[in-house]
Amino acid sequence: MVEENLKLAYGENSDLIKEKRIAGVQALSGTGACRLFADFQKRFSPDSQIYIPVPTWVNHHNIWRDAHVPQNTFHYYHPESRGLDFASMMEDIKNAPNGSFFLLHACAHNPTGVDPTEEQWREISQQFKVKGHFAFFDMAYQGFASGDPERDAKSIRIFLEDGHLIGCAQSYAKNMGVYGQRVGCLRTVCDDKKQAVAVKSQLQQLTIPMYSNPPIHGALIVSIILGDPELKKLWLKEVKGMADRIIGMRSALRENLEKLGSSLPWEHITKQIGMFCYSGMTPEQVDRMTKEFHIYMTRNGRISMAGVNTGNIGYLANAIHEVTKSA
């Protein structure tokens, strides 16, 4: 499973794979891969801390906390524009101590759906190079964001082009629908083959008291699909269909709100990407959504776009309009 996983993330013809410079181990989905790296970080860089974006997936804080790695934060989301606070993000990267660890979302940032542009990723990579920072990517939605796994891996490819030794947690829970099978992978890029062997050995030493061996059933599903050209072609078609449906629902939700006469700007719905839409609704407005319309979401206003369909989108848009029109 790990070998096919590497090809998907780093490219079929990656020199890193040919040179055996990547230490990869199967992990318990993306969560397990993050936790494994956090323990690795604590063991081999005990005085380091992790910089985490504001906001992030809530479990990131739990993972590094339980691994006893001190946490710091960096700017990411800009509430007023409902987009990326790029200037503040770059300033935080610049001001962090040299050689700091940063957690980055490879694509479809959770919970905001806000990703840097390709040019912004290049600037981020260059600033990391100047500061000697280590980038750890959490990639939970490859293929599920844009519908194209190659495009969704662009952030990682940019860092690799610039010569970074990165870490990456990969999950197949969403893009292959195997959430209950806990299929994931942790990978770290190393200086050479010898170092990769040593790093993989140490990662395996960490897994033994944690979960011993990972489950095989889901991993075989992923391995068979990615390893068979015809099955992989079918999977790529289906994952694009899923991503395109969500993108279509974003457009429809925005159109519905604008047709209702909402005076608020809703461009962020279609600019954001992935499963989640950071709507901009306040906790009080979300409470009204629940109490008056029986629509449920997290109180930060995050909508799961995967739950929106042609049958409920009109009702959803009307509810959002009702609770936000006095804002």
C-alpha distance from residue 22 to each of 44, 79, 207 (Å): 18, 38, 17
Please give the backbone phi and psi of residue 211, each rounded to the nearest 5 degrees, phi first.
-150, 10
Write down the catalytic residue from 64, 138, 152, 235.
Answer: 138
Cis peptide before 111 (omega within 30 of 0): yes
Is the Cβ–Cβ distance between 166 and 160 less than 8 Å?
Answer: yes
- Residues 122-144 have pLDDT tens digits of 999 999 999 999 999 999 999 98
- Residues 48-74 have pLDDT tens digits of 999 999 999 999 999 999 999 999 999
Tokens of 90: 């770059």
- Is 148 labeled as catalytic in the residue annotation? no
Confidence (pTM): 0.94
- Residues 165-203 have pLDDT tens digits of 999 999 999 999 999 999 999 999 999 999 999 999 999
Is the Cβ–Cβ distance between 162 and 126 less than 8 Å?
Answer: yes
- Residues 231-278 have pLDDT tens digits of 999 999 999 999 999 999 999 999 999 999 999 999 999 999 999 999
Tokens of 105: 């979302």
Is the Cβ–Cβ distance between 62 and 229 less than 8 Å?
Answer: no
- Residues 112-127 have pLDDT tens digits of 999 999 999 999 999 9
Write down the catalytic residue from 39, 42, 57, 266.
Answer: 57
pLDDT (0 to 100) of residue 327: 59
pLDDT (0 to 100) of residue 229: 95
Please give the backbone phi and psi of residue 14, each rounded to the nearest 5 degrees, phi first.
-60, 130
- Is 287 labeled as catalytic in the residue annotation? no
Work out the angle between the directed axes of helices 86-95 and 118-131 (0-180°, nearest 10): 10
| Per-residue confidence band for 95, with pLDDT thresholds at 50, 70 and 90 | very high
Predicted confidence (pLDDT) at residue 150 exceeds the cutoff of 90: yes
pLDDT (0 to 100) of residue 2: 77
Please give the backbone phi and psi of residue 172, each rounded to the nearest 5 degrees, phi first.
-115, 10
- Residues 151-164 have pLDDT tens digits of 999 999 999 999 99
Write down the catalytic residue from 115, 174, 200, 266.
Answer: 174
| Per-residue confidence band for 325, with pLDDT thresholds at 50, 70 and 90 | confident
The C-alpha atoms of residue 172 and residue 187 are separated, in whole angstroms, by 14
pLDDT (0 to 100) of residue 5: 81
**H helix runs in 96-179, sequence order:** 118-131, 149-152, 154-161
Residues in the chain, overall count: 327
Is the Cβ–Cβ distance between 190 and 22 less than 8 Å?
Answer: yes
C-alpha distance from residue 24 to each of 59, 189, 229, 326 (Å): 22, 9, 23, 52
- Is 138 labeled as catalytic in the residue annotation? yes
Predicted confidence (pLDDT) at residue 80 exceeds the cutoff of 70: yes
Region 18-26 average pLDDT: 95
Region 14-19 average pLDDT: 92
